[in-house]
A = this chain, B = another copy of it.
Amino acid sequence: MIATVSNKTQPPIDAKAQVSEFMQSFQDQICAGLEELDGKAKFKQDQWQREEGGGGRSRVMTEGRIFEKGGVNFSEVYGSHLPPSILKQYPEAANQIFYATGTSMVLHPRNPYVPTVHLNYRYFQVGNIWWFGGGLDLTPYYGFAEDAQFLHKTLKAACDRHNPNYYPVFKAWCDDYFYLKHRGETRGVGGIFFDYQNSEPKLYKNSNDSPKAEQMSNDLTDFPERSWQEIFNFVQDCAGSFLKAYVPIAQRRQDTPFGERERDFQLYRRGRYVEFNLVYDRGTIFGLQTNGRTESILMSLPPLVRWEYDYHPEPDTPESELYELFLKPQDWINWNL
């Protein structure tokens, strides 16, 4: 798969330890930031071990001032039973010990004006094969272009510090990946998403996620080979931009008054989150396929959810505006507020 591996592109000997340490301190950092933001609830931690190798620490906050439920999970697993989805792409990885680590987070606020947010950054290594993946996406129940633009600008700034092509490709990838085909809706206002980032001089590969990101990546004829360290630096920078991107949005919306109507709509829309995670999400499927810890994998599911047959929002309401404006890919960076 990697024809020539220069020294520059090989991971350092302690790559796994470096990433693992970062993923844990990143978990610490966002948990501290979210506790400060919430001001009431604290995270409770469960440490767990996986029978076939590895383990993790799951942290959950419930009944907070802002967060009805929030989960931040660090895991580090290894084993020889690679899931079929990865074996298909890398048949040469069969019968080798794989290593995967990452930190993921989903927050379900109580106030319907505060958006749900998800992030996940992860690293995978087996033999000579390695890659980073991850991203962050925002799911509002009531949309504010100002919030979408602020989030995207913050993520773009992190991307642009490393490569000007990152943001446009990873933004398109996010729009396409977090898409509910059976609903014809994006999950929310997007953000960034990337996978299989390694030294191969190609931004997008090995996935059927996004024809648009693939085209944009193919158009970059002189995209350079990157070292392990360069990509790791980029991932750390993205991760580090989460609190900067989300906390101001949550603070701006946290005191917006709401009633039964807004709450009902939030519970209904949370159903889409469940549908996405159980039907499409690669992290969830990887976890269930590798006998991960079910409670940690499904920590992302909302505390309370409603399904209503054939619901459609009334025209010219904030609810219909969500569908018309915010559940479609938009150029938030250049949005005219």
Q: With contacts A182-B294, A278-B278 known, is A306 near B307, CB below 8 A?
A: no
A308 lies within 8 A of chain B by Cβ: yes
A60 lies within 8 A of chain B by Cβ: yes
The segment out of A145-153, A231-239, A296-304 that lies at the interface is A296-304
CB distance from A51 to the nearest CB of B (A): 13
CB distance from A145 to the nearest CB of B (A): 28
Cross-chain contact of A306 among B182, B279, B304 (Cβ < 8 A) = B304
Q: Which residues of chain B come closer than 8 Å to A60, judged between CB atoms? A: 309-310
A165 lies within 8 A of chain B by Cβ: no
A271 and B274 CA atoms in complex are apart in Å by 10
A184, closest chain B residue (CB): B294
CB distance from A80 to the nearest CB of B (A): 20
A185 and B60 CA atoms in complex are apart in Å by 24
Q: Which residues of chain B come closer than 8 Å to A115, judged between CB atoms? A: none
Residue contact A303 to B307, C-beta cutoff 8 Å: yes
Q: Which residues of chain B come closer than 8 Å to A156, judged between CB atoms? A: none
Given contacts A279-B288, A305-B307, 16 further A-B contacts (CB under 8 A): A58-B309, A71-B309, A181-B288, A182-B288, A182-B294, A182-B298, A275-B278, A275-B298, A278-B278, A295-B309, A298-B307, A299-B309, A303-B306, A303-B307, A304-B304, A305-B306
